[in-house]
Amino acid sequence: MRRAVLLSLWVGSIVVAQACGGTTDTDDGGLDSSTNDVTTTQDNFVPPQDTGTDDVVVTPDTGTPDAGTGDASDASTTPDSGNKIGTWTCGSATVTDCAQCVGHTQGCVYCANADASVLSGVCVQFGTGCGASAPQNFNLCSCPKDAAACPEPDMVCLQATQQTSVCDPCGAVQTTNGLTCQNGGKCAADSGACQ
């Protein structure tokens, strides 16, 4: 009987405990009030808007090509094949072309010592060279081993020393033979022509 009383007390306490909201070993399906559920919100990240200017769109140039003349000092263009000396000194006379100067048909061009863009032209005897005929305050024009820097189309860039090269007309001396002329041809020293 004692066992029956204890068993009935024990069952009765479970019923009373359940009726009063107490906990038992079984899950009642309710929320545990001692722990709060963490609620997360959806990440609604929106990247910042580009506030810069629009990209530049370049359209091909369909205009008329530039008809300007080439500059001999501009390496991106064909060297100027025109003469830069308008008048030449032939003894005490002035001529427009050394072919007009009897016995002195070769034209030598010199650059001013103070300003290499100032040129002087002197007609000399063919094959005699230009070194001895320079006017006062002028000298042979220098070139960086490239005849494109020379002022006249029939000139070559002749190495004078290990450090210097000068512009000399094709045929002024035999060592000009086969060198590239300012106009792009090859010097034939015997005739003085750039072919």
Report pLDDT for 48: 56
**Mean pLDDT value across residues 103-132:** 92
> Is 68 or 172 the better-scoring residue by pLDDT?
172
The answer to whether position 170 is within a domain reads yes
Identify the helix (H) or strand (E) that includes residue 6. helix 2-19
Give backbone dihedrals phi and psi of 47, rounded to 5 degrees, phi first.
-65, 150
Task: Please report which residue ranges of 48-105 form alpha helices under DSSP H.
Answer: none
pTM, two decimal places:
0.56
The answer to whether position 111 is within a domain reads yes
For 71-82, how does the pLDDT look when each residue is reduced to its tens digit (9 = 90+)? 433 333 333 445
Structural domain boundaries, residue 179: 88-194
Q: CA dist 74 to 66, 119, 123, 149, Å?
A: 15, 19, 28, 9
Report pLDDT for 18: 47
The answer to whether position 2 is within a domain reads no
Count: domains in the chain: 1
Nearest-5° Cα angle at 153, 93 to 142:
85
pLDDT band, very low/low/confident/very high, at 87 (cuts 50, 70, 90)? confident
Q: Please list, in sequence order, all residues whose beta carbon lies within 8 angstroms of the beta carbon of residue 187, skipping any fewer than 6 positions away.
A: 156, 170, 171, 176, 177, 178, 179, 180, 181, 193, 194
Give backbone dihedrals phi and psi of 123, rounded to 5 degrees, phi first.
-90, 130
The answer to whether position 70 is within a domain reads no
Report pLDDT for 38: 52
Report pLDDT for 13: 43
Report pLDDT for 71: 40
**Mean pLDDT value across residues 107-136:** 92
pLDDT band, very low/low/confident/very high, at 65 (cuts 50, 70, 90)? low
For residue 120, is pLDDT > 60?
yes
For residue 170, is pLDDT > 80?
yes
Q: Please list, in sequence order, all residues whose beta carbon lies within 8 angstroms of the beta carbon of residue 112, skipping any fewer than 6 positions away.
A: 118, 119, 120, 137, 138
The answer to whether position 77 is within a domain reads no
The answer to whether position 36 is within a domain reads no
Q: Are 91 and 104 in contact (CB under 8 A)?
A: yes
The answer to whether position 34 is within a domain reads no
Q: CA dist 168 to 47, 89, 151, 157, 180, Å?
A: 69, 17, 10, 6, 11
Report pLDDT for 183: 94
d(CA 134, CA 142): 14
Residue 60 token pair: 């091909």
The answer to whether position 107 is within a domain reads yes
